Amino acid sequence: MARVSQEHLEARRRQILDGAAVCFARNGFHATSMQDVLKEVDLSAGAVYRYFGGKEELIAAIASEVLETVRGTLEQAAQESPPPTPDVMVPRALALMRQVRPATLETGEWLFPRLMIQVWTESTRTPSLTAVLIEGYAKIREAWGAMAKNYKDAGLLPEDADVDAMARAMIALVQGFAAQMAIFGDIPPQVLAEGTRALMATGRTASPA
């Protein structure tokens, strides 16, 4: 009985987070009220406030889940041999996010990229959300360390490479592509792969004799 009850609680929490994500992506964080969230999830105020104290807690929970998904992607990739290169990792991270969070807006637009812009913008105003992002990105950079070790073991990366700088650049790539999706529309996975691959190849072309 306890197990079923816990499953119910987790399903209800998921329902609230998914509904809030739709609201934030559709109208923005500040233009969305808790009443909008209640209407979206079709629950009473008491049912929602049992899980979350307000909009700030909702967006912090959403951000934390996204960062955990990215961290898990890196940790899983670190177990592969040979390790997947960045031109594989960037499209994979976004593809996994689409799989885990497939919700779309009424227009059919994938809501995740727009939602992430809301998270980044709100983090500049809300210290508690900033703390969530700082902690989450620190875990991602740590997970990248395992990937970098595999690259070095495979001879794909110099021993003196700045691993933390690489992690930050990878995060920036994913963020940048997500921002482009939010503004310009969807980007095919092959564009992400080919663009990242081209950046990786810069400077490798042999100089003319």
Q: Who has greater pLDDT, 150 or 45? A: 45
Q: Of how many residues is the chain composed?
A: 209
**Res 5 pLDDT > 90:** no
Across 31-35, average pLDDT? 95
Instruction: Report pLDDT for 205.
Output: 63
Q: Which amino acid is at 115?
A: L
Instruction: Report pLDDT for 1.
Output: 44
Share of the chain above pLDDT 90, in %: 47
- At residue 189 the predicted structure's pLDDT band, cuts being 50, 70 and 90, is confident
> pLDDT tens digits, residue range 116-166?
898 998 999 999 999 999 999 999 999 888 888 889 888 988 999 998 998
Share of the chain above pLDDT 70, in %: 96
Following CA atoms 59, 60, 66, 71 in sequence, which dihedral angle do they give, to the nearest 10 degrees? Answer: 170
How confident is the prediction for the chain on average, in pLDDT?
A: 88
